[in-house]
Structure 1
């Protein structure tokens, strides 16, 4: 089964976690420091691979059945995201949802890299 890095609403405790259909958690980890992290319309996060100025982004890796990925998880993703392959901090690869290119065409794209995770951004003081 493919490994899937999740960093938004499908993480444990998130509103979309049920879509994983019981897929086992493999690890809590971070990406390699090659990504910027954005809030898209303050609705969901998106990773963007960058050549320079990247940082680690925290998330969870799950062992997701291919049919669960195809039939449940991917259809629930917003159109601003697409399936990609990312590098994790240990040098391994994982599937993940990344921002479609060019990300500059998206309204309300806010760089939240400094927060390091979606839960940290969502829990920030206003």
Structure 2
């Protein structure tokens, strides 16, 4: 994977987006200038939550997981640190996830203490993804 222009010497890493960072999302401008690798899915090892404040989050599980749809981008690690993570909610942390093809990528996931509290979390694992959940929420 090569880094975009202007990031010579940096190692580009795959970053999985499943919420407002995707194309059309409110924080997409922070990563829009990086290489879009395509629409992908996670391995079926995650539950997917809507969090109070209007953002989604992954949570890894040993059983009962689903494959979550999203988008994959190539970003230099420095961009993940300096541009992507600063716009993410404090309830989320960087994690290494498994994609449907068996490869690994970075993504944001719920912090363990947030999941343990459970407050403000709605399990949307069976919704078909963040965009589908938002569309169904607007129809209600």
TM-score with structure 2 length normalisation? 0.86
Counterpart CA distance in 1 for 2:40 and 2:120 is 27
Offset at residue 70 of structure 1 (A): 1.2
Contact 1:5/1:62 (8 A) holds in 2: yes
Question: C-alpha offsets along residues 21-71 of structure 1, whole Å, 9 cap, x if unaligned?
Answer: 501111201000000000011510000000000000000000012222111
Q: Equivalent residue for 2:86?
A: 75
Q: Out of 111, 116, 122, which is 1:110 matched to?
A: 122
Q: Equivalent residue for 1:19?
A: 30
Counterpart CA distance in 1 for 2:75 and 2:32 is 9
Q: Tell me, yes or no, if structure 1 residue 36 matches structure 2 residue 47.
A: yes
Counterpart CA distance in 2 for 1:35 and 1:101 is 14
* Segments of 4+ moved more than 2 angstroms: none
**Any gaps of 5 or more consecutive residues in structure 1?**
none
**Any gaps of 5 or more consecutive residues in structure 2?**
1-11
Counterpart CA distance in 1 for 2:71 and 2:32 is 15
Counterpart CA distance in 1 for 2:76 and 2:28 is 14
Which is bigger in relative contact order (C-alpha 8 A, separation at least 6)?
1
Counterpart CA distance in 2 for 1:42 and 1:21 is 23
Contact 1:80/1:106 (8 A) holds in 2: no
C-alpha RMSD of matched pairs (Å): 1.1
Q: Equivalent residue for 1:84?
A: 95
3-state secondary structure, aligned to 1:113: coil
